[in-house]
Amino acid sequence: MLNTTSLKAAYGAVPVLLGVDLALGEGEILALLGRNGAGKTTLMRTLIGLLKATGGSVTFAGADITNFPPHDIARRGIAYVPQGRGIFPKLTVAENLELGTRSRPDGRSDVPAEIFDYFPRLRERLSQSAGTMSGGEQQMLAIGRALAGDPKILLLDEPSEGIQPSIVHQIGEFLKRIVADTGISVLLVEQNIDLALATADRCIVMEKGRIVREGSVEEMSDETVMREFLAV
């Protein structure tokens, strides 16, 4: 579905991605793990086009989308939920969802009802200002808004950050259900190893701008592997 070949990116003169090769399959939840500063968020930003790649390529569904503008990538079916939610706090829940429909391939602008099946809480709060909701609700809204665009791929950057543990668990369950129902692929960046391992089909580990390890959830659950790559 989504592939990168020796993808490189930099902030100014500082190289951050030193050549990332990644393959995300159809209907797969791939967890991207790694310590702070490994380049996980940078990779996400490069995939969605917010940061220009300085080398390598990104292909999506067979088409080269390297350095396409973000709105174009979004309309092709890649939805991005940034770290720290990324909702529009001044708008209501309904308005937030409505704006997410811009990238729908069928051009419709009504919010698909399935979103409320996944997140019933959002239906109750339609006219509420998004900024006044709790962290967990905002995260649900951010994911709901991404789904409103009917994407083929969901890029999730640390959905568990700053959210109470019970909701973290729920988010993992939501993701599995969404993938089972719709067949979309998910690239999940997580610091919360438990959430990542409970949700993902496969894991990759990033270190200093490269992918240094790849494996099944079982392999990654191994204590020594975790300590080697993830211990802070």
Partner 1 sequence: MSAQDQISAAARATARDATFARPKFVLIAAGWLVLASLPFWAGAYNIATIRDVLLFGLFALSLDFLWGRTGILSFGHAAFFGLGAYGMAIVTIKLGLDPASASLLGLLGGTGLAMLAALVVGYFLIFSGVRGTYLTIVTLALTVIAQHIAIGWSEVTGGDSGLIGVPPLTFELFGWRYALSDPSQFYWFVLLLASIILLVLWRVLSGRYGHILTAIEDNELRARTIGHHTDRHLLTVFVVSAGIAGLAGAIYATGTGFVAPDMIGLMLSTEVIMWVAVGGRGTLVGPFIGAFVVWWLQQKISSIDTKLWPMFIGLFFIAMVFLFPNGVMSLGERGRQLRARLWRRA
**Residues at the contact surface with partner 1, assessed by CB under 8 A:** 48, 50, 69-71, 74-75, 79-80, 82, 86-92, 95, 98-100, 102-103, 109, 127-129, 132-134, 145-146, 149
- Cβ of residue 70: shortest distance to partner 1, in angstroms? 4
Query: What's the DSSP call for residue 86?
Result: -
Q: Which is nearer to partner 1, 103 or 192 (CB)?
A: 103
Q: Which is nearer to partner 1, 82 or 215 (CB)?
A: 82
- Cβ of residue 134: shortest distance to partner 1, in angstroms? 5
Q: Which is nearer to partner 1, 98 or 214 (CB)?
A: 98
DSSP-based helix, strand, coil % in the chain, nearest 5: 40, 30, 30
Q: Which is nearer to partner 1, 3 or 128 (CB)?
A: 128
- Cβ of residue 46: shortest distance to partner 1, in angstroms? 12
- Cβ of residue 231: shortest distance to partner 1, in angstroms? 32
Q: Name residues whose C-beta falls within 8 Å of residue 12's C-beta, 6 or more positions apart in sequence.
A: none
Q: Count Cβ neighbours within 10 Å for each residue of 196-223 and write b for 16 or more, e otherwise.
A: bbbbbbbbbbbbebbbebeeebeebeee
Spatial CA neighbour of 187 closest among 37, 16, 24, 36: 24
Q: Which is nearer to partner 1, 129 or 176 (CB)?
A: 129
